[in-house]
Amino acid sequence: MKADKQLLKSELDYVKQFLQKQFETNDVKDFMILLKDILKQDYPLRDVCRQIQRSMDHPSRLELVHILFGLSQADGHIHPDEIKVIHTIAGYLNINENDFISIQSMFVRDTHSDYKILEVSHSATDGEIKKAYRKMASKYHPDKVTHLGGDLQDLAEEKFKAVNDAYQSIKKDRGMS
């Protein structure tokens, strides 16, 4: 939230809405007070991420990176400084570069986003694309995060849908069956 040197209401609202889906109303109020206190402090990012990395499994950490991109987009724009911070966080969380680029491409679109989402090059063969799609569909399948609750499973469903949409778009562009 502090990466672009602006703390916006839209970002606080995003966090509040996320918490409201996860917790009781009284807990959300307490968490928001805690968040505002935390935002006034400077914590070593590496230490915080290492603690998170030890306590969360890989699918959960992938969801966290997805949530961070959602938070950065809450104001309608993802600032380059926010991308840099999320990239740093992803590294500290042991998220590999391909996974990071795949998730980033779901939020920051360009002409090769569909290929980046599937973690293949534009020159990949149709067979390589099919194989990559199966791998990514398995990696981001919502069933992998059922232990995190329905709302995070919905986010995983969103990622799963992005993978499927990317594959369908590539198939259509290439005339694949």
Spell out the domains of the chain, with CATH numbers in brackets.
109-177 (1.10.287.110)
Dist CA 86 CA 66 (whole Å): 10
Average pLDDT over residues 150-154: 82
If you average pLDDT over residues 105-130, what whole number do you get?
94
More confident: 67 or 152: 67
pLDDT at 84: 97
Predicted pLDDT at 147: 86
Nearest residue to 69 via CA among 106, 99, 35 = 106
Q: What percent of the chain has pLDDT over 90?
A: 70
- Asked if residues 39 and 2 have their Cβ atoms less than 8 Å apart, the reply is yes
What's the pLDDT at 52?
Answer: 95
The mean pLDDT of the chain is 92
104, 102, 109: which is closest to 163 by C-alpha?
102
What confidence category does residue 156 fall into, taking pLDDT thresholds of 50, 70 and 90? confident
Confidence band (pLDDT; 50, 70, 90) for 148?
confident
pLDDT exceeds 90 at position 150:
no
Give the best-scoring range by mean pLDDT among 23-37, 124-138, 143-157.
124-138
Dihedral sign computed on CA atoms, order 90, 92, 95, 99:
positive
pTM metric for this prediction: 0.80
Percent helix, strand, coil in the chain, to 5, is 75, 0, 25
DSSP, collapsed to helix, strand or coil, labels residue 23 as coil
32: exposed, middle or buried (Cβ count in 10 Å: 0-12, 13-18, 19+): middle
Extract the tokens encoding 25: 């109303």
Model confidence at 154, in pLDDT bands (50, 70, 90)? confident
Place of tokens 């990317």: 166
